[in-house]
Amino acid sequence: MTGQMFVQHFFNALTLGSLYALIAIGYTMVYGILRLINFAHGEIFMLGAYFIFYTGSLFNLPWVVGAVISIVLCALCGIMVDKVAYKPLRDAPRISALISSIGMSFLIQNLAIVVFSGIPKPVVRPDFFVKIMVIKGVRILPLAVIVPVVCFVLVLGLLFIVYKTKPGLAMRAISKDIETTRLMGVSVNRIIALTFGLGSALAAASGIMWALRYPQIQPLMGFMPGIKAFIAAVVGGIGSIHGAVIGGLILGFVEIMTVAFFPELSGFKDAFAFILLIVILLAKPTGLMGEKIEEKV
C-alpha cells in the first residue's frame, strides 16, 4: 500500500469512526442515567437523514437551515420516545423498558416505511462537500475533514453541558443515585428528557453527515449503524462519553483498515464489529473506560 493510499484510508476511517461515535454517545448517555439500552436510537439517526432530505427537496431550504431544523426535530422525537415508551415504565422492571425500546424501534421503522415509502432515495450533496481535494497526490473529500471536525466540536459542547452546567450536574447525579437526586428536589423526568434530546440531536447530526457520505437513504438504514454504534459504546465502556468516542473511532479504524490491508475480507466487513465486541467482553467486560458497577443489596 502506498503512502497516499494509507492517508486516504486514514481519513475514511476517521470519518466513519466519528459517525459511530456521535451515535454511540446517545446510547451511553441513556444507559448512564437509566441503565437502559435504547434500541430506538438507530431510528432517530435514520429520521435525521430523512428530515434533511425533505427540508431540501420539499421546502427548498438552504442546507444549513435544513440541518438545524432536522437536529431540532430529532431532539423532539427523542424526547417524545422517552415520554411515550419509557417514562410510564420508570418504576417497572428493566426488562419491561428493554422490550418497550425494541417495540419502539420496530414502530418507528414501520412508520417510516409507510410515511416515506420503502424505496431508497438519492441525497443531493452540496458541491462544497464533495469537490475532491488533491494534496500531494492524496485525494480527499472535504467531508472526510468536515465530519471529524464537526464531531469534535459537538463532543466538546456536550462535555461542557455535562461538566459545567447545572443540568449536566443533575445528569451526573442521576447516574449515581436517581432516588437521592429526586429527594434533593431535582426534576428527574425533565433531566432524563433533556438527556434523550441531547443524544437524539447528536444522532441526527450523524444521520445528516451519513446521508452526505453515503448518499442514499431508506427506512432501515438506522439498523446496522445503530447496532455498530452500540458495540462501540460497549467497547469504550457504556456509560462513559469519552469511552463512546474512543469506541467509535476504534470501530471505524478496525473496519476500514482491515479491508484496506486485507481486501479479500471485505465481504466480512460487518463481522469485524461483532468480533471486536466478543474480544472486549472476554478481555475487559466493562469496556476500555467503563467503571465496574456494584449492585446494592
Q: Under CATH, what is the fold of the domain 3-283?
A: ABC transporter involved in vitamin B12 uptake, BtuC (1.10.3470)
> Distance between CA atoms of 219 and 151, rounded to whole angstroms?
24
For the chain of 297 residues, list the mean pLDDT of each consecutive stretch of 10.
85 93 92 88 94 90 92 95 91 89 94 92 84 82 90 94 93 90 90 94 94 91 92 90 93 92 85 90 86 58
pLDDT computed for residue 297 by the predictor = 47
* Domain spans of the chain, in order of start: 3-283
pLDDT computed for residue 135 by the predictor = 81
Task: Copy the grid coordinates of residue 294.
Answer: 456494584
pLDDT computed for residue 295 by the predictor = 54
The C-alpha cell 437524539 sits at: 200
Q: Checking phi first, is residue 185 left (phi over 0); if not, alpha (psi -120 to 50) or beta?
A: left
Whole-angstrom CA distances from 238 to 86, 174, 247, 264 are 19, 16, 9, 32
Angle between helices 188-213 and 3-34 in degrees, nearest 10 = 160
pLDDT computed for residue 266 by the predictor = 81
pTM (two decimals):
0.91
